[in-house]
Amino acid sequence: MTVPRRLFFALWPDDASRRALAAEAERLAPQCGGYPLPAENMHITLAFLGGVDASRLEALVDLTRAWPALDGEWTLDRLGHFPQPRIVWAGSRTPNAELTTLNAELWQALGRHGFTAPQREFTPHVSLVRQADRAAPESRPPAPLRWRFDHLALVESKLDDGGSRYRTLADNRSQG
């Protein structure tokens, strides 16, 4: 019997955005009572699948690689707090139509493979601080951050003593 793999679909920031997000996490952590996420973990989760049997992995890899090319931009100009699970995050004050559409289209495609979309509204965000006892003292970062996104990734999450470790299993960039 195989152990289910913890999978999700994500967008990863470019290096400049990743560095800016990591710096913001470092700045906020002491103010919020938590710890900053490592730069390499910064991402937007578009669809969290949870534990997935290995027999379904090939179809998900194929879906990912066949996904149309992406070319979008997201402006992060808001800080928020999810009291449970105690996360301070960066997001947008106004909804991003591209991300909302991408999320809906992805769940529609996943539905054809037997996955069910969550019943809650999609809130695009990047987790910055975990175990945050309180929200950020301000509602906006010092300067808005523009994040260009150009590919979708299927990611595996493994938990260990150091926290979550992410590994990209497939993406929709050209294979050539």
Known active-site residue 43: yes
Distance CA 37, CA 123 (A): 19
Task: Determine which one of 81, 113, 125, 151 is catalytic.
Answer: 125
Nearest to 42 by CA among 78, 91, 5, 3: 91
SS3 state of residue 96: coil
Report the Cα 113 to chain-centroid distance in Å: 21
Distance CA 60, CA 44 (A): 18
Question: Residues near 117 by Cβ (< 8 Å), separated by ≥ 6?
Answer: 47, 107, 110, 111
Cβ atoms 33, 126 nearer than 8 A: no
Q: How many CB atoms lie within 10 A of CB 7?
A: 20
Nearest to 5 by CA among 47, 58, 48, 51: 51
Active site residues: 43, 125
